[in-house]
Structure 1
Amino acid sequence: MPVVPATDEAIAQAAGALAEGAIVAFPTETVYGLGADARNGTAVAKIFAAKERPRFNPLIVHVPDFATAETLVAFNDDARTLAAAFWPGPLTLVAPKRKDCGIADLVTAGLDSIAVRVPGHPVAQALLKTAKCPIAAPSANRSGRISPTEAAHVAAELGETPAMILDGGACARGLESTVVSLAGAEPVLLRLGAVPRHEIEAALSRPVARAEDDAPIASPGQLSRHYAPQTPLRLNAADVQPGEVLLAFGPDPLPCDSKAINLSRAGDLGEAAAKLFASLRELDEAGSFGIAVMPIPDEGLGEAINDRLRRAAKAR
């Protein structure tokens, strides 16, 4: 299916495709998602097949509002605080699922919890309200590859597999949602993302522990190798070696005789986050033997950016 502008008519067609058990790609403020009716196990299985995704890796369920989320999961006071502070927006909350939630077991990978989010993107909101179903949607790319932030990235990754690819322009945030588990006694940060850790902690008025690297997988984004280009990454580079291209940051980029992209000459971490995946994709297509990555401050959104880069650089 060709990429189509996300008009009201196209959104209605996409909702119809979901109702028929098809999968569709659509924009959120974070990255493009590959969605199916979360209640339809056969449709959800098409997501796993299209992405070549491990079945033990659960999916995020997207809903239009907090009230709908509460029909699927049991929220505690911390979850309500975070939802009030960040929804709609790039925050995913993992909470115990209700017995009558109707969500397909494949979505949760057999867990007793569901990862749920209320996206803020107008196209995602329109699709959810038109489809009138919870939409299970990981990023619209092959498993482990660079997440798509433009409709063309989805087409390059998945071709004709989705029934439709709704084009809503470039994603504003460019990093996946932050994921916080409220399934236990205390909140746990499962995935760094578009909401910085310090904002989560400010909303809760206390520090939040981060899941260990070897913790059981309870949400997307916990695999050790993820978000990866085909070209190897060399992190915290102090120079650019012959045959490498450069992913730069800040006003003083390293000297480079080949292709270079600066995530933000102004040193703006928000701008860098929004450009990260598209820049990695472009450098990956440059035909070099390596990508030199300049240091990026490990604070605020930089913590999530560095998390993605470390996972992308993991040995094959």
Structure 2
Amino acid sequence: MALVSERFSCLDPDGRDEGLEAARLALRDGGLVVMPTDTVYGIAADAFDPAAVARLLAAKGRGRHMPPPVLVASNSTLDALASSVEPYVHTLTDALWPGPLTVICRQQESLTWDLGETRGTVAIRMPDDETARELLRRTGPLAVSSANLTGHPAATTIDEAEQQLGESVAVYLDGGPAGSGVPSTIVDCTGEHPRIVRMGAITADRFTELGVEVG
């Protein structure tokens, strides 16, 4: 891993493209990247590289019992990662992706990854941030957790993320202040009826508007 982190501004086209390519290469080589999202800044690793995911958890001071979600660039990736997807899941994602909704589904048994102690599930989200989605289009699914040390506030600026994570991260992508600063709503979709695990930017009333009753 690089001993000195690189930082790129994604607020202008040239810096953004240079930063995205540097991030792609770092992730390919097993490094960690801090990226903007529509909620808070995230720390990312290649979801299919177990050693990189372990580095992500170590950088945050987090154990395997708290596996990171996986971010994707398109709705169609959901069915590639999840199995036995209930119809209501597509109702939610069709309406609320990209956006601050994380769905926990049963993972495809054929997936060769190790995100931690997931008990055969995977938490999936598509962020409403163009820089994040462009990086995901270049890399494929990424394991992404909030860019902070466990127990500390989630970073809403690149400076906050860098102060907490330092040189454990190879590339920092500065997209300006994070979108809402409010984390995503997490919904357990492994059963016949969905259940809210963490209330975030999307309220239960929004689910009701879509005709989906959640517990």
TM-score, shorter chain, exceeding 0.5: yes
**Aligned equivalent of 1:70, options 74, 79, 93:** 79
1:67 deviation in Å?
Answer: 0.9
Does the 8 Å CA contact 1:94/1:179 hold for their aligned counterparts? yes
In the other structure, the counterpart of 2:134 is: 126
User: Residues 219-271 of structure 1: CA distance to partner in whole angstroms, max 9, x if unpaired?
Assistant: xxxxxxxxxxxxxxxxxxxxxxxxxxxxxxxxxxxxxxxxxxxxxxxxxxxxx
In the other structure, the counterpart of 2:185 is: 178
Give, as a single letter, the amino acid of the residue that structure 2 aligns with 1:111.
R
1:3 deviation in Å?
Answer: 2.9
**Aligned equivalent of 1:4, options 4, 8, 29:** 8
Does the 8 Å CA contact 1:73/1:101 hold for their aligned counterparts? no
Alignment of 1:66-105 (within 5 A): 66-74=75-83, 75-102=85-112, 104-105=113-114
RMSD of aligned C-alpha atoms? 1.2
Unaligned runs of 5+ in 2: 11-15
Query: Which whole-Å CA distance do the structure 2 matches of 1:110 and 1:88 have between them?
Result: 24
Query: Which whole-Å CA distance do the structure 1 matches of 2:48 and 2:196 have between them?
Result: 27
In the other structure, the counterpart of 1:36 is: 45
Query: Which whole-Å CA distance do the structure 2 matches of 1:185 and 1:93 have between them?
Result: 14
Does the 8 Å CA contact 2:86/2:192 hold for their aligned counterparts? no
Query: Which whole-Å CA distance do the structure 1 matches of 2:203 and 2:63 have between them?
Result: 28
Alignment of 1:105-144 (within 5 A): 105=114, 107-131=115-139, 133-144=140-151
Does the 8 Å CA contact 2:136/2:142 hold for their aligned counterparts? yes
In the other structure, the counterpart of 2:155 is: 148
1:18 deviation in Å?
Answer: 0.5
Query: Which whole-Å CA distance do the structure 2 matches of 1:150 and 1:134 have between them?
Result: 23
Query: Which whole-Å CA distance do the structure 1 matches of 2:82 and 2:50 have between them?
Result: 18
User: Residues 273-311 of structure 1: CA distance to partner in whole angstroms, max 9, x if unpaired?
Assistant: xxxxxxxxxxxxxxxxxxxxxxxxxxxxxxxxxxxxxxx
Query: Which whole-Å CA distance do the structure 1 matches of 2:191 and 2:68 have between them?
Result: 19
Classify the secondary structure of the residue corresponding to 1:66.
coil
Could you state the TM-score of these two structures normalised by the residue count of structure 2? Answer: 0.92
Give, as a single letter, the amino acid of the residue that structure 2 aligns with 1:182.
C
Q: Which has the higher contact order (CA 8 A, sep 6+)?
A: 2
- Corresponding residue pairs, total: 205
Classify the secondary structure of the residue corresponding to 1:180.
strand
Query: Which whole-Å CA distance do the structure 1 matches of 2:107 and 2:24 have between them?
Result: 25
User: Residues 104-128 of structure 1: CA distance to partner in whole angstroms, max 9, x if unpaired?
Assistant: 22x1514111000111101100100
User: Residues 4-57 of structure 1: CA distance to partner in whole angstroms, max 9, x if unpaired?
Assistant: 212111101101110111110000000111000001100000011100002201
Query: Which whole-Å CA distance do the structure 2 matches of 1:193 and 1:164 have between them?
Result: 28
1:66 deviation in Å?
Answer: 1.1
In the other structure, the counterpart of 1:304 is: none
Query: Which whole-Å CA distance do the structure 1 matches of 2:96 and 2:138 have between them?
Result: 23
Does the 8 Å CA contact 2:47/2:53 hold for their aligned counterparts? yes
Give, as a single letter, the amino acid of the residue that structure 1 aligns with 2:101.
L
Query: Which whole-Å CA distance do the structure 2 matches of 1:174 and 1:110 have between them?
Result: 26
Segment drifting more, 2-11 vs 48-57: 2-11
Structure 1 residue runs of 4 or more that deviate by more than 2 Å after TM superposition: none
Could you state the TM-score of these two structures normalised by the residue count of structure 1? Answer: 0.63
Does the 8 Å CA contact 1:108/1:114 hold for their aligned counterparts? no
In the other structure, the counterpart of 1:58 is: 67
**Aligned equivalent of 1:27, options 21, 36, 39:** 36
Give, as a single letter, the amino acid of the residue that structure 1 aligns with 2:198.
R
Give, as a single letter, the amino acid of the residue that structure 2 aligns with 1:46.
R
Percent identity, aligned pairs only? Answer: 34
Query: Which whole-Å CA distance do the structure 2 matches of 1:101 and 1:89 have between them?
Result: 25
